[in-house]
Structure formats: C-alpha cells, structure tokens
Amino acid sequence: MTSQAIHPLDAALALTPTAAAGVFTGHTTPDYWNMVGPYGGITAATLLQAVLQHPDLLGEPLSLTVNYAAAVTEGPLTLQVQPIRTNRSTQHWSVLLLQPDAQGQEQVVSSASAVTAVRRSTWGVSDAPMPAVPAPAEVAAVPVPENFPVQWIKRYEMRPITGSIPEQWNDQGDSSLSQLWVRDRPQRALGFAALAGLADVFFPRVWLRRARRVPIGTVSMTVYFHAGSAELAAVGSGYLLGQARAQEFRNGFFDQSAQLWSEAGQMLASTHQIVYYKE
C-alpha cells in the first residue's frame, strides 16, 4: 500500500499491538500537527482507537473523557488500555498515552476514560433539535493555503455558517457561538474515532468572544456518543453540523459545550471541554 492509498486519519490511528496485553504503539503524524503538538482531536481519536482495537471490547463507545496532561511531542506513542470493569452490557476503560521524557523514562502525556455499551432500542426524543441553517452547498468552504503552517486545519473541510474566525482582532467580540458544516478532508466514512476527532474541531471560544488571540490549551474534553455504528455508517462521508458555545470564562479557564448533528438532523455526539487561556 502506498502512502497515497491510506487516508491521513487512518495513518494517524494506526496502532500496533505489542506482546504486552493492552499495550499498543503508534506514532505522531505531521498531517494533524497543530502549532506546538498534535491537534487535540487526533489525540482523542487515538486514545479511543486503542479501546476499539482491544480484543475484549464489549459494545460501542458511549462516553469518552480525555485529559490533556502535557504537550505531546513528535515521535513514538505508547498506549496502555485496560478494561477496569466489565458488566453485562457496559464496559469501563482506562487508557494512558505515554511518551519518553528527556531521560528516556515513559511519562503520561494524556489519559482517557471511556465507557462502551451495548445499545438497545427504546423510546427516544431530541430536546436539542438541529438549528435551521443553510445547506452545505450554500455555504463557502474556508480556503486554506497549502503552505499554511497549521496542518490539521487542512484535514477538515469547514463551511462556517456563523461565528467564524474573526477577520479583525480588535477586542470587539460579543458572542461565543459558532456553527459550521464540517467533514474529513479527503472524505472518509464516519466512525467513532473520526467523530471523537471532530468533537475538538472548534477554534478556541475565547478567541471568538474577545476577538483576540491568546495562548490556549484544552485541559479536558468529554464526548457523549448518541449514535451507534449503523447510524454512523448511514452518515458515510456526509457533512456534520457542528455548533459550539462557551458558558463561563474566568480566571484562566473557560468551558465549551458543543453538538454534532448529521446532515439529516440526528444528533451524533454532544461534547464539552474546559480550556486554559492566558491573560
């Protein structure tokens, strides 16, 4: 298989089992590089992928919490994934992402907990229906120059509807709401790891709210999956509508709540994060 034949997301998610139970190795990929490390969404996707590849997996992802403990550096990754409790229809997972420090000692750079579950058909209703927005074809995609230094942006086709990156950084922001159509670029059939990656696709709310760029870093992100694999398969490589807003900015941290719907209007995931900001 040549490098052209594999999607960049699949390359990023390629994990190799080791002789030790629940230990996988991987490698950072330049395709999803952010400014000083990998895009947080690809780290989340990789942590979830380790669960999905575990031979004892029961059910499908229901929740995922990723804690970003330290900057991930370019190089090899070690993933330790462990089912800490297996019930009849739910399973609880602990995942550690490790990298060697300057002395060659493996250190935790990210950790995750996940719950997987067997879903059963029940009564259901949507209390947060998809907002009425223009169709993807009616919204222009953001052009990203090939020489743009932030790589992960090029891995998503983004069609902002409202709350796009400020054109002027003039400290005159007044809202933290963004809506956009988004999908993997190049197109790729949606799966759970891809959806976890998309959960982090929104640029920092504090940049929008202030119309000012300050240093930021996601500290913890949680994703709740509302769809099973059959529903994700039905989405295929279609667009998702993403919506994000902040609630509280105070003393160096803000929270973001977001939703991802299929173009057909089904909520696929709701997601929340708490983010550090400087100043």
9 or 208: CB nearest a second copy: 208
148 or 169: CB nearest a second copy: 169
194 or 275: CB nearest a second copy: 275
127 or 146: CB nearest a second copy: 127
Integer-rounded Cα Rg, in Å, for the chain is 18
d(C-alpha 103, C-alpha 53), whole Å:
30
Which of 69, 133, 141, 216 forms a contact with a second copy (CB under 8 A)?
Answer: 69
| Burial class (CB within 10 angstroms; exposed 0-12, middle 13-18, buried 19+) of 45 | buried
Which of 7, 57, 165, 276 forms a contact with a second copy (CB under 8 A)?
Answer: 276
- Any idea which residue has 């963004």 for tokens? 178
User: How long is the chain?
Assistant: 279
Single-letter amino acid code for the residue at 17? P
Inter-residue contact 206 to 277 (CB < 8 Å) = yes
* Binding map of a second copy across residues 232-261, x = CB under 8 A, - = no contact: -------------xxxxxxxxx-x-x-x--
Which of 73, 78, 220, 229 forms a contact with a second copy (CB under 8 A)?
Answer: 220
Structure tokens at 231: 């529903």
Does residue 79 bind a second copy (CB under 8 A)? no
Does residue 15 bind a second copy (CB under 8 A)? no
d(C-alpha 50, C-alpha 20), whole Å:
14
Does residue 115 bind a second copy (CB under 8 A)? yes
Q: Report the nearest approach of a second copy to the CB of residue 106 (Å).
A: 12
DSSP summary character for residue 233: H
Single-letter amino acid code for the residue at 57? L
d(C-alpha 60, C-alpha 268), whole Å:
13
Inter-residue contact 65 to 51 (CB < 8 Å) = no
* Binding map of a second copy across residues 135-174, x = CB under 8 A, - = no contact: ----------------------------------------
- Any idea which residue has 């409202």 for tokens? 162
Binding site residues, a second copy, CB under 8 A: 62-63, 65, 67, 69-70, 84-85, 87, 90, 92, 94, 96, 107-109, 111, 113, 115, 117, 119-128, 175-176, 209-210, 219-220, 222, 224, 226-228, 245-253, 255, 257, 259, 267, 270, 272, 274, 276-279
